[in-house]
């Protein structure tokens, strides 16, 4: 399997499979009714693919998987504005997680928790730009706490997945 992935066509196919897996996680997440009265609170299941990928693949490959997932899910189940919010959150989260992994001082749980916080902050900043209102900052504390909690949960799951498969996934 590893030799197949090392070929250019194999990398593309593998990234396509990861994109499909992230899309499935996004769809499953949309079926889970979470409503805390604050828009934007989600589990972040697709982050499992991004977080795990950051430990095994090149950043550009993981970024491509993440952006493709956001665009495809947005076109299939969302709207233009939902794509804009998701891209803002996803790109900021990706950048922060990559920096923390490269710093090599944080666990997967810490990296994922930070990713969850910055995903929510990216979406909040985009909403403030779109709506031209600083009043949305009132949501920041709740979104930061929920991002840290759900991010930590996804980090725990990613840690378990990486332990179980011991690098055989990528």
Residue 69 counted as domain residue: yes
CATH number at residue 112: 1.10.1760.20
pLDDT of residue 1: 44
Residue 20 counted as domain residue: yes
Residue 170 counted as domain residue: no
- pLDDT confidence tier of residue 97, bands split at 50, 70 and 90: very high
pLDDT of residue 167: 53
Average pLDDT over residues 95-113: 96
Q: Residue 106 has what DSSP assignment?
A: S
| 25 touches 154 (CB < 8 A) | no
Distance CA 143, CA 40 (A): 8
The mean pLDDT value of the chain amounts to 90
Domain count, the chain: 1
Distance CA 50, CA 119 (A): 12
pLDDT of residue 10: 77
pLDDT of residue 168: 60
Q: Where are the alpha helices (DSSP H) in the chain?
A: 2-5, 8-30, 47-56, 59-77, 80-103, 108-131, 140-165
Each residue's pLDDT tens digit, 133-143: 999 999 999 99
Q: Count CB neighbours of 128 within 10 A.
A: 16
Task: Note down the domain range covering 106.
Answer: 2-165
Residue 78 counted as domain residue: yes
Q: Count CB neighbours of 3 within 10 A.
A: 7
Distance CA 54, CA 95 (A): 11
Which residue in 115, 109, 116, 114 sits closest to 161, CA to CA?
Answer: 109
166 phi-psi bin (left φ>0, alpha ψ -120 to 50, beta other): left
Residue 107 counted as domain residue: yes
Q: Count CB neighbours of 70 within 10 A.
A: 26
* Residue 88 reports pLDDT greater than 60: yes
Residue 60 counted as domain residue: yes
Each residue's pLDDT tens digit, 16-69: 999 999 999 999 988 887 776 777 788 899 999 999 999 988 999 999 999 999
């Amino acid at each position: 399997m590893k030799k197949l992935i090392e070929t250019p066509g194999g990398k593309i196919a593998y990234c396509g499979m990861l994109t499909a897996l992230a899309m499935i996680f996004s769809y499953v997440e949309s079926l889970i009714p979470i409503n805390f009265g604050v828009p934007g609170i989600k589990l972040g299941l697709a982050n499992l693919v991004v977080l795990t990928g950051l430990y095994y693949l090149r950043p550009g490959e993981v970024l491509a998987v993440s952006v493709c997932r956001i665009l495809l899910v947005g076109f299939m189940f969302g709207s233009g504005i939902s794509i804009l919010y998701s891209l803002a959150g996803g790109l900021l989260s990706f950048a922060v997680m990559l920096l923390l992994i490269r710093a090599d001082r944080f666990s997967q749980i810490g990296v994922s928790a930070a990713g969850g916080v910055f995903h929510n902050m990216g979406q909040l900043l985009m909403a403030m730009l779109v709506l031209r209102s600083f009043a949305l900052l009132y949501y920041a504390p709740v979104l930061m706490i929920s991002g840290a909690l759900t991010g930590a949960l996804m980090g725990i799951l990613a840690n378990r997945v990486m332990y179980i498969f011991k690098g055989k996934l990528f």
